[in-house]
Structure 1
Amino acid sequence: MAAGTTRQIAHFDLDAFFVSVERLKNAALNGKPLIVGGSGGRGVVTAASYEARRFGVHSAMPMKLARRLCPEALVISGDMESYSHYSRLVTEIISDRVPVFEKASIDEFYLDLTGMDRHFGCRSFTDELKQTITGETGLPISWALATNKLISKVATNEVKPNGQLEVPSGGEKRFLAPLTIQKMPGIGKETGQLLLRMGVETVRTLSEIPMLMMFNLLGKTGIELSRKANGIDESPVIPYHDQKSISTEQTFSSDTIDLKFLHSRLVRMTESIGFELRKQNRLTGCITVKLRYANFDTVTKQRTIAYTALDHTLLQQATQLFEQLYDRRLLVRLLGIRFTHLIPGNQQISLFDDSTAQVRLYQAVDSIKNRFGENLLQRAGGSFAERLEEKKSR
């Protein structure tokens, strides 16, 4: 970017995305309070329509509480395959028109339009893109245009649903000033309560606190919040095509036709990179299984899947690919698995049919793995391969 060039960053956010997709599939749901999530007694809210949000319903809330707050709401278990399909449609539309964009999650995008105003207005382009997305997919979407990612995201949240807003260069602090601190990204529940006890209720007040005081209060986080409160954010738009894969493969100490061993090795490898996926707070939308036979012929098979980071879903898909790929007449030399089409997100997004207990189980297992190493906990099928390999190497 040339010196002195003002950045132009647009943030696009699909309005109540899961709800909007469900309404595309069933127009009778339009205008009604709708909750997407686990329908069981211990289920979790994954998404809520704006009609349900007026009653205090929000994502990650226990379904029992959501039903008490909004007893008239319709509850749908959710369809991750449909949501992934529409997410990819929107991604393709943006990719065809914008050279540099970041897919921040399944339903939001950052577009770097810097320099585009020399050819045509960025606001006109952004508005035209919104109309194209809605026209081609039927999904409502909101956008905001500003000089950085922070301002554009906060502004989008202010104009949803189905809104648009441009915050001009130089107007960042003025835009943020009257907002409550809870609307500032990076301020969680505990930090928010601490600031409120200090009498800091608006971003304007937060911006007036000396940076040294913020550092003494919250360390490096305090410095970052001070910069944000003053409208400063230099984080780049990370090009979507630069998202890396997560993969692993193993060449065996001896070629094998032992199906039980191959299956258990697949379990162990899938668990390992599934754990890495969750550590990076990402979801995968594509799985590839790779086999190399004793004659060095190498074959792969891949499948586009609903975005997920959950081991049991990843294992099911990987096993099906392996079964389609494996030629039982040949010895196997190498086995590999790769996750691609990565986007930011967490396992909560896939838990439409899972209970809060299962959510906590994944969190507990990952916590133990982070603390003591990922080999401490693993499925029995995966540990079989470890023992067999050790025996062969003796």
Structure 2
Amino acid sequence: MPSILHLDMDAFFAAVEQAAKPSLRGKPVIVGGLGGRGVVSTASYEARKFGVHSAMPMAQARRLCPNAAFLTGRFEAYRQVSELVMGLLRELSPLVEPLSLDEAFVDLEEGPYGPSLAAAGPVAAPELIVAIAADLRADITERTGLTASVGLATSKLMAKIASEQAKPDGLVLVEAGQERAVLATMPVRALPGVGPATEQVLRRVGLEKVADLTAAGEAELVQLLGRSHGLGVFQMSTGQDDRPVVPDRDAKSVSVEDTFEVDLLDRGRVLQEIDVLTARCVRRLHASGRSGRTVVLKVRRFDFSTLTRSETLRAPTDDETVIAETARRLALQVDITGGVRLLGVGVSQLADFTQEDLFAQAEQAERAERAAAQEVLEEVMAEPAPVVEEIRHWRPGQDVTHAQLGPGWVQGSGVGRVTVRFETPQSEIGRVRTFAVDDPELTPSRPQPLRPGMVLPDEEDED
């Protein structure tokens, strides 16, 4: 029974931005890192016509589509929509396996429609399954204004391939027994796990289509690719996939990382950035109610070589001091000559509990004593140095509110000015105004709901 559903929201990040910003609807929108080293996260279909695609360097995207709206990500807004969509999926079945904010598998046979599908039998069940999926897509559009592509099949492999065929804004069903016919004419790269290196090995012996893999047989693929990989590729080429839909897959680690506009050359600056990353990582740990035993530091150097260092603690912890001090120790083991391009801090070997670390408590107490002593010292000192007010930085696409003009979003900023378009998802195309970057009446704000009644998440994503 083709009761495995794969849902993939269409150009998700860019589509959310278009839904939230009336002035961008029907126009090319590119979301990602806007710095010199940024990459494209998502491009709207209008931008894809110019050759822009995910993972492309942002500088190249600007050359291909200079008139697009280039925006930084608003992960709180994306999570808001994702939670609504995943809620709709869970109404169909308790077996929902999220793969990302905008993608998930669902086993319809295990949900409330299961008895009806069983009663319908193999002849009528596919028609009922298609009707369920069509209603789901309509509900998503009604609730969010966005579109989704859906694939239906007897396995996760074929359901995902079907959703790719359905894009954009479509629905494709692969009925039982049709798997080989659907796969036959596809290039070998269509199969999960067949990357450029495997493709090159297969191409050298004339295996370019999935049908070629099936004809070659298991023995030849094992000889070419090794026992495990060869067997897996052969099974996929024949449409075999018995993986179950696993709800709410447990995370194996929690980590954050940043790529820097300019390589970091100073070790003190590296340690400072590690503290910042650790704080973000710990907030994610707290949000998930987890702790971890192993602290991992990731360093990508100026020449793109990537190093990882790790240290396993005596017991799981979510203590920021412990994790930061461990990450700092690991950083001292890395040669940063030439500069650091990327830093990441993570925690693995996750647990659902935290064993208090007495050494961390002692360190915290010592820091508190030092801070108290510093406060006393400052009181007896002469007049303190003047405090320099930090200039606020505004990101393209950022949600803002003006005390007089209401909600809007940042179109751009520079040379001490910030340009804002005042519009909401339900408004007409809004007017544009320019302010000083430190205008006290202009403040950051949370995303506006795409539809009336949409509930905002309680906490912001730290990405």
Q: Assess same fold via TM > 0.5.
A: yes
SS in 2 for 1:28: helix
CA separation of 1:314/1:131 partners in 2, compared to 1, >3 Å: closer, same or farther?
Answer: farther
Alpha-carbon deviations, 1:92-144, whole Å to 9, x = none?
12112323221121111111122451357111111111111111111100101
Distance 1:237 1:77 in 2: 33
Pairwise CA distance, 1:181: 1.7
Distance 2:179 2:93 in 1: 24
The equivalent of 2:10 in structure 1 is 15
Confirm or deny: 8 A CA contact 1:95 1:101 kept in the other structure. yes
State which of 193, 214, 217 in structure 2 corresponds to 1:210.
Answer: 217
Query: Aligned AA for 2:165?
Result: E
The reply to whether residue 56 of structure 1 matches residue 51 of structure 2 is yes
Confirm or deny: 8 A CA contact 1:245 1:338 kept in the other structure. no
Distance 2:207 2:218 in 1: 14
The reply to whether residue 168 of structure 1 matches residue 132 of structure 2 is no
Distance 1:228 1:205 in 2: 12
Confirm or deny: 8 A CA contact 2:32 2:40 kept in the other structure. yes
The equivalent of 1:104 in structure 2 is 99
Alpha-carbon deviations, 1:311-357, whole Å to 9, x = none?
846624856x9xxxxxxxxxxxxxx946269xxxxxxxxxxxxxxxx
The equivalent of 2:74 in structure 1 is 79
- TM-score (ref. length: structure 1): 0.65
CA separation of 1:119/1:150 partners in 2, compared to 1, >3 Å: closer, same or farther?
Answer: same
Question: Larger RCO: Structure 1 or Structure 2 (Cα < 8 Å, ≥ 6 residues apart)?
Answer: 1
Pairwise CA distance, 1:70: 2.5
Confirm or deny: 8 A CA contact 2:213 2:237 kept in the other structure. yes
SS in 2 for 1:369: strand
Distance 1:160 1:231 in 2: 21
Pairwise CA distance, 1:200: 2.0
The reply to whether residue 26 of structure 1 matches residue 21 of structure 2 is yes
CA separation of 1:156/1:380 partners in 2, compared to 1, >3 Å: closer, same or farther?
Answer: same
The equivalent of 1:339 in structure 2 is 288
Alpha-carbon deviations, 1:57-108, whole Å to 9, x = none?
2222211122223233221112111011111111112112323221121111
State which of 145, 148, 158 in structure 1 corresponds to 2:152.
Answer: 145
Match runs of 1:310-321 below 5 Å = 312=276, 315-316=279-280, 318=282
Identity of aligned residues (%): 36
Query: Aligned AA for 2:118?
Result: R
Query: Aligned AA for 2:149?
Result: S
Q: Which moved more, 1:139-148 or 1:71-80?
A: 71-80
RMSD: 3.5
Distance 1:245 1:217 in 2: 33
- TM-score (ref. length: structure 2): 0.56
State which of 108, 113, 117 in structure 2 corresponds to 1:113.
Answer: 108
Query: Aligned AA for 1:239?
Result: P
Distance 2:181 2:207 in 1: 17
Distance 2:181 2:199 in 1: 21
Q: Where do 5+ consecutive residues of structure 2 fail to align?
A: 121-127, 258-273, 291-297, 314-321, 330-355, 364-463
Confirm or deny: 8 A CA contact 2:92 2:108 kept in the other structure. no
Pairwise CA distance, 1:216: 1.2
Alpha-carbon deviations, 1:197-228, whole Å to 9, x = none?
32222111122111111111111111101110
The equivalent of 1:188 in structure 2 is 195
Query: Aligned AA for 1:315?
Result: A
The equivalent of 1:333 in structure 2 is none
Pairwise CA distance, 1:233: 0.5
Confirm or deny: 8 A CA contact 1:12 1:156 kept in the other structure. yes
CA separation of 1:58/1:129 partners in 2, compared to 1, >3 Å: closer, same or farther?
Answer: same
Confirm or deny: 8 A CA contact 1:12 1:110 kept in the other structure. yes
Query: Aligned AA for 1:176?
Result: L
The equivalent of 2:233 in structure 1 is 225
Pairwise CA distance, 1:379: 3.8
Q: Where do 5+ consecutive residues of structure 1 fail to align?
A: 1-5, 247-272, 279-309, 322-335, 342-357
Distance 2:359 2:49 in 1: 57
Query: Aligned AA for 1:191?
Result: T
Higher helix share: 1
SS in 1 for 2:172: strand
CA separation of 1:374/1:57 partners in 2, compared to 1, >3 Å: closer, same or farther?
Answer: farther
SS in 1 for 2:91: helix
Larger Rg: 2
